[in-house]
Structure 1
């Protein structure tokens, strides 16, 4: 298995951050790693969505867990490996909100694809979280 986590703290409330997360059509406005996104239902577990990174093929993914105001998990099932990202909101000791993105790649091919694919998927996490926080704090 391969995994990576990045987090930031913000003065934005979980409610404001959740609004931006659950407004999927707006993700490309603050996430430069998304050129286009289409969701096939409500922001709820089981809903499929298609995300197109700039210059890449579309990726079909599923929301596997949604806990309003707290976290959501999405998965890309590639057959011999699964890319799972948990997006969570946690109270920080400072009294702020900690925003956490954690990605793991698991499955039979994880040891082969994880070290190359994982860093490519997560490289923009610092920029994405910084943009989300800027928007949520404005």
Structure 2
């Protein structure tokens, strides 16, 4: 997957807290401001599918391609002629929890979608991840 955007944060929250927020896809618009709504068909498991509605864009089908609870979550949006992949990773060390997200596009029309979506995704990734980190900490304090 050729990566064209990435973002990262460090947090005192546990990795499981980030996975709980990612699994609750209906709440994604609270921290991902480019998303109007997300619907997951069933449970948050590897192979599950759903539909995402970006603000100002058409509905997009996606699949949870990889899920390693507490470590990694990869979702793939199925665009015409391309696959838009968001790879979410969580790790811990002595300083706390590190959360990183990388975005890539592949497929015969990846160049087209990178021109259409690339700037917006790159601009929103870090602020969205910052909001997710704040939401996770807020939910733990409640």
TM-score by length of 2: 0.86
Partner of 2:61: 60
Partner of 2:15: 14
Structure 1, gaps ≥5 residues long = none
Deviation at 1:79, TM superposition (A): 4.2
Q: Kindly provide the CA deviation profile for residues 37-73 of structure 1, in whole angstroms up to 9, marking residues without a partner as x.
A: 1110110111111111122211111110111111111
**Structure 1: 4+ residue segments shifted above 3 A:** none
Contact (CA 8 Å) 1:2, 1:115: kept in 2 or not? no
Q: Kindly provide the CA deviation profile for residues 67-91 of structure 1, in whole angstroms up to 9, marking residues without a partner as x.
A: 1111111112224221111011122
Secondary structure in 2 matching 1:50 = strand
The RMSD of aligned alpha carbons is 1.7
Secondary structure in 1 matching 2:35 = coil
Within a 5 Å distance, the mapping from 1:1-138 to structure 2 comes to: 1-92=2-93, 95-138=95-138
Looking at secondary structure, tell me which structure has more strand per residue: 2
TM-score by length of 1: 0.88
Contact (CA 8 Å) 1:39, 1:47: kept in 2 or not? yes
